Amino acid sequence: MHGDEIARALADAGACASGGDVDGAVTLYDRVLVHAPRNGDAWRGKALALASAGRYAESLVVLAHGVKAAPDDDRMAGLYITNLREMGRKDDAYAEAESALKRAPRSIWVLKAAGDTHRDRGDFREAQRLYERGLSINPHDTMLMNGKATALFLDKDYAAAAAVYDRITELRPDDFNAWLNLAYTQENLGYKDAARAAYVQALSIRPDNADALEGRASISGTLAEANIYLTRLDAIDPDRAAAARARFRS
Protein backbone atom coordinates (compact mmCIF):
# COMPACT_ATOMS: atom_id res chain seq x y z
CA MET A 1 0.00 0.00 0.00
CA HIS A 2 1.56 3.27 -1.18
CA GLY A 3 0.83 6.96 -0.64
CA ASP A 4 -2.22 7.31 -2.89
CA GLU A 5 -3.68 4.03 -1.68
CA ILE A 6 -3.20 5.07 1.94
CA ALA A 7 -4.87 8.42 1.31
CA ARG A 8 -7.78 6.69 -0.43
CA ALA A 9 -8.17 4.15 2.39
CA LEU A 10 -8.14 6.92 5.00
CA ALA A 11 -10.81 8.83 3.07
CA ASP A 12 -12.94 5.68 2.76
CA ALA A 13 -12.50 4.96 6.47
CA GLY A 14 -13.61 8.46 7.36
CA ALA A 15 -16.68 8.05 5.16
CA CYS A 16 -17.53 4.76 6.86
CA ALA A 17 -17.22 6.33 10.29
CA SER A 18 -19.38 9.31 9.27
CA GLY A 19 -22.00 6.90 7.95
CA GLY A 20 -22.10 4.90 11.19
CA ASP A 21 -20.16 1.88 9.91
CA VAL A 22 -17.60 1.90 12.69
CA ASP A 23 -16.43 -1.67 12.18
CA GLY A 24 -15.87 -0.98 8.49
CA ALA A 25 -13.89 2.14 9.38
CA VAL A 26 -11.78 0.24 11.91
CA THR A 27 -11.00 -2.45 9.34
CA LEU A 28 -9.76 0.17 6.87
CA TYR A 29 -7.71 2.02 9.48
CA ASP A 30 -6.13 -1.30 10.54
CA ARG A 31 -5.29 -2.03 6.90
CA VAL A 32 -3.44 1.28 6.70
CA LEU A 33 -1.61 0.64 9.96
CA VAL A 34 -0.32 -2.72 8.74
CA HIS A 35 1.53 -0.87 5.98
CA ALA A 36 2.16 2.44 7.77
CA PRO A 37 2.32 1.78 11.54
CA ARG A 38 3.44 5.34 12.30
CA ASN A 39 0.54 6.98 10.47
CA GLY A 40 -0.99 9.33 13.01
CA ASP A 41 -4.09 9.99 10.89
CA ALA A 42 -4.96 6.29 10.99
CA TRP A 43 -4.45 5.97 14.75
CA ARG A 44 -6.49 9.11 15.44
CA GLY A 45 -9.19 8.18 12.98
CA LYS A 46 -9.58 4.73 14.47
CA ALA A 47 -9.77 6.14 18.00
CA LEU A 48 -12.35 8.75 17.03
CA ALA A 49 -14.45 6.19 15.17
CA LEU A 50 -14.56 3.94 18.23
CA ALA A 51 -15.38 6.88 20.51
CA SER A 52 -18.24 7.92 18.21
CA ALA A 53 -19.83 4.53 18.90
CA GLY A 54 -19.40 4.90 22.67
CA ARG A 55 -16.51 2.44 22.71
CA TYR A 56 -14.38 4.76 24.84
CA ALA A 57 -12.20 2.15 26.53
CA GLU A 58 -11.19 0.71 23.15
CA SER A 59 -10.58 4.21 21.82
CA LEU A 60 -8.26 4.97 24.72
CA VAL A 61 -6.27 1.78 24.11
CA VAL A 62 -5.84 2.78 20.47
CA LEU A 63 -4.56 6.22 21.47
CA ALA A 64 -2.16 4.72 24.02
CA HIS A 65 -0.63 2.66 21.22
CA GLY A 66 -0.81 5.57 18.78
CA VAL A 67 1.19 8.03 20.88
CA LYS A 68 3.97 5.46 21.13
CA ALA A 69 3.90 4.57 17.45
CA ALA A 70 3.70 8.21 16.30
CA PRO A 71 5.22 10.29 19.12
CA ASP A 72 5.55 13.36 16.91
CA ASP A 73 1.81 13.53 16.21
CA ASP A 74 0.96 16.40 18.55
CA ARG A 75 -2.73 16.36 17.70
CA MET A 76 -2.96 12.74 18.83
CA ALA A 77 -1.04 13.57 22.00
CA GLY A 78 -3.62 16.24 22.83
CA LEU A 79 -6.49 13.88 22.06
CA TYR A 80 -4.99 11.17 24.28
CA ILE A 81 -4.68 13.60 27.21
CA THR A 82 -8.25 14.77 26.69
CA ASN A 83 -9.60 11.22 26.56
CA LEU A 84 -7.72 10.26 29.72
CA ARG A 85 -9.43 13.18 31.46
CA GLU A 86 -12.85 12.22 30.12
CA MET A 87 -12.37 8.64 31.35
CA GLY A 88 -11.66 9.98 34.84
CA ARG A 89 -7.93 9.25 34.76
CA LYS A 90 -6.96 12.80 35.59
CA ASP A 91 -3.63 12.03 37.26
CA ASP A 92 -2.58 10.01 34.22
CA ALA A 93 -3.72 12.87 31.98
CA TYR A 94 -1.61 15.34 33.95
CA ALA A 95 1.50 13.11 33.73
CA GLU A 96 0.96 12.57 30.00
CA ALA A 97 0.53 16.33 29.48
CA GLU A 98 3.80 17.11 31.23
CA SER A 99 5.57 14.60 28.99
CA ALA A 100 3.87 15.87 25.83
CA LEU A 101 4.83 19.48 26.62
CA LYS A 102 8.48 18.48 26.54
CA ARG A 103 8.04 16.89 23.10
CA ALA A 104 5.81 19.59 21.61
CA PRO A 105 6.03 22.84 23.62
CA ARG A 106 4.48 24.91 20.82
CA SER A 107 1.63 22.61 19.86
CA ILE A 108 -1.75 24.26 20.38
CA TRP A 109 -3.29 20.79 20.77
CA VAL A 110 -0.92 19.88 23.59
CA LEU A 111 -1.09 23.32 25.20
CA LYS A 112 -4.90 23.20 25.30
CA ALA A 113 -4.99 19.69 26.73
CA ALA A 114 -2.25 20.48 29.26
CA GLY A 115 -4.07 23.64 30.33
CA ASP A 116 -7.16 21.56 30.95
CA THR A 117 -5.25 19.22 33.28
CA HIS A 118 -4.12 22.19 35.38
CA ARG A 119 -7.67 23.55 35.38
CA ASP A 120 -8.84 20.18 36.73
CA ARG A 121 -6.45 20.65 39.64
CA GLY A 122 -7.69 24.15 40.40
CA ASP A 123 -4.42 25.67 39.23
CA PHE A 124 -6.11 28.34 37.15
CA ARG A 125 -3.02 30.56 36.89
CA GLU A 126 -0.94 27.84 35.22
CA ALA A 127 -3.89 26.84 33.05
CA GLN A 128 -4.20 30.44 31.86
CA ARG A 129 -0.47 30.61 31.16
CA LEU A 130 -0.70 27.55 28.90
CA TYR A 131 -3.81 28.79 27.09
CA GLU A 132 -2.17 32.18 26.57
CA ARG A 133 0.96 30.53 25.20
CA GLY A 134 -1.22 28.75 22.68
CA LEU A 135 -3.07 31.93 21.79
CA SER A 136 0.23 33.69 21.17
CA ILE A 137 0.80 31.07 18.45
CA ASN A 138 -2.76 31.12 17.08
CA PRO A 139 -4.68 34.16 18.40
CA HIS A 140 -7.99 33.12 16.84
CA ASP A 141 -8.12 29.52 18.04
CA THR A 142 -11.53 29.12 19.69
CA MET A 143 -10.51 25.81 21.29
CA LEU A 144 -7.91 27.66 23.35
CA MET A 145 -10.26 30.58 23.96
CA ASN A 146 -12.86 28.22 25.36
CA GLY A 147 -10.33 26.69 27.73
CA LYS A 148 -9.30 30.15 28.88
CA ALA A 149 -12.89 31.30 29.38
CA THR A 150 -13.77 28.18 31.34
CA ALA A 151 -10.78 28.65 33.66
CA LEU A 152 -11.75 32.31 34.20
CA PHE A 153 -15.34 31.30 34.95
CA LEU A 154 -14.27 28.65 37.47
CA ASP A 155 -11.96 31.22 39.05
CA LYS A 156 -15.04 33.50 39.34
CA ASP A 157 -13.55 36.17 37.06
CA TYR A 158 -16.88 36.48 35.29
CA ALA A 159 -16.18 39.76 33.52
CA ALA A 160 -13.04 38.41 31.87
CA ALA A 161 -14.79 35.13 31.04
CA ALA A 162 -17.68 37.01 29.42
CA ALA A 163 -15.26 38.97 27.25
CA VAL A 164 -13.68 35.76 25.95
CA TYR A 165 -17.00 33.99 25.36
CA ASP A 166 -18.23 37.09 23.55
CA ARG A 167 -15.18 36.94 21.29
CA ILE A 168 -15.84 33.27 20.55
CA THR A 169 -19.40 34.09 19.47
CA GLU A 170 -18.01 36.73 17.12
CA LEU A 171 -15.68 34.20 15.51
CA ARG A 172 -18.18 31.35 15.60
CA PRO A 173 -21.73 32.75 15.74
CA ASP A 174 -23.23 29.24 15.54
CA ASP A 175 -21.30 27.97 18.57
CA PHE A 176 -24.09 26.86 20.89
CA ASN A 177 -21.85 26.19 23.89
CA ALA A 178 -20.26 29.63 23.67
CA TRP A 179 -23.68 31.32 23.73
CA LEU A 180 -24.87 29.15 26.61
CA ASN A 181 -21.73 29.79 28.64
CA LEU A 182 -21.96 33.49 27.85
CA ALA A 183 -25.52 33.44 29.23
CA TYR A 184 -24.34 31.75 32.45
CA THR A 185 -21.52 34.26 32.78
CA GLN A 186 -23.74 37.30 32.24
CA GLU A 187 -26.19 35.87 34.76
CA ASN A 188 -23.42 35.59 37.34
CA LEU A 189 -22.53 39.21 36.65
CA GLY A 190 -26.15 40.18 37.31
CA TYR A 191 -26.73 41.32 33.72
CA LYS A 192 -30.09 39.65 33.18
CA ASP A 193 -30.92 41.35 29.88
CA ALA A 194 -27.60 40.28 28.40
CA ALA A 195 -28.09 36.77 29.78
CA ARG A 196 -31.58 36.56 28.25
CA ALA A 197 -30.22 37.66 24.88
CA ALA A 198 -27.48 35.00 25.02
CA TYR A 199 -30.00 32.30 25.96
CA VAL A 200 -32.15 33.34 22.99
CA GLN A 201 -29.16 32.98 20.68
CA ALA A 202 -28.36 29.56 22.15
CA LEU A 203 -31.96 28.42 21.68
CA SER A 204 -31.98 29.64 18.11
CA ILE A 205 -29.23 27.07 17.47
CA ARG A 206 -30.61 24.25 19.63
CA PRO A 207 -34.29 24.94 20.33
CA ASP A 208 -34.79 21.78 22.38
CA ASN A 209 -31.73 22.00 24.62
CA ALA A 210 -32.80 21.41 28.22
CA ASP A 211 -30.00 23.48 29.79
CA ALA A 212 -30.80 26.53 27.68
CA LEU A 213 -34.56 26.21 28.23
CA GLU A 214 -34.17 25.91 31.99
CA GLY A 215 -31.63 28.73 32.11
CA ARG A 216 -33.82 31.10 30.12
CA ALA A 217 -36.84 30.22 32.27
CA SER A 218 -34.89 30.82 35.49
CA ILE A 219 -34.35 34.51 34.72
CA SER A 220 -37.87 35.25 33.53
CA GLY A 221 -39.72 38.13 35.13
CA THR A 222 -42.93 36.19 35.73
CA LEU A 223 -44.05 32.58 35.96
CA ALA A 224 -46.07 33.09 32.79
CA GLU A 225 -42.90 34.09 30.96
CA ALA A 226 -40.98 31.19 32.50
CA ASN A 227 -43.67 28.76 31.38
CA ILE A 228 -43.03 29.66 27.74
CA TYR A 229 -39.74 27.78 28.13
CA LEU A 230 -40.76 25.27 30.80
CA THR A 231 -43.63 24.03 28.66
CA ARG A 232 -41.04 23.14 26.02
CA LEU A 233 -38.90 21.55 28.72
CA ASP A 234 -41.89 19.44 29.85
CA ALA A 235 -41.68 17.50 26.60
CA ILE A 236 -37.98 16.75 27.14
CA ASP A 237 -37.62 16.28 30.90
CA PRO A 238 -40.87 16.77 32.87
CA ASP A 239 -39.21 16.20 36.25
CA ARG A 240 -36.65 18.89 35.54
CA ALA A 241 -39.37 21.27 34.39
CA ALA A 242 -41.39 20.63 37.56
CA ALA A 243 -38.35 21.27 39.76
CA ALA A 244 -37.64 24.51 37.88
CA ARG A 245 -41.24 25.68 38.43
CA ALA A 246 -40.97 24.90 42.15
CA ARG A 247 -37.75 26.93 42.42
CA PHE A 248 -39.33 29.81 40.53
CA ARG A 249 -42.30 29.91 42.92
CA SER A 250 -40.14 29.72 46.06
Reported confidence tier of residue 250, pLDDT bands at 50, 70, 90: confident
Q: Rounded to an integer, what distance in angstroms lies between the CA atom of residue 217 and that of residue 120?
A: 30
Would you list the domain boundaries of the chain? 1-69, 71-155
Residues 6+ apart with CB under 8 A from 58: 50
Can 1-69 and 71-155 be said to share one CATH topology? yes
* 162-215 residue pLDDT tens: 999 999 999 999 999 999 999 999 999 999 999 999 999 999 999 999 999 999
* 99-136 residue pLDDT tens: 999 999 999 999 999 999 999 999 999 999 999 999 99
Looking at domain 71-155, its CATH architecture is Alpha Horseshoe (1.25)
Is a pLDDT exceeding 80 seen at residue 1?
no
Quote the pLDDT of residue 248: 84
Instruction: Round the average pLDDT of the chain to a whole number and report it.
Output: 94
* 48-61 residue pLDDT tens: 999 989 899 999 99
- Predicted TM-score (pTM) of this structure: 0.85
Question: What CATH number belongs to 1-69?
Answer: 1.25.40.10
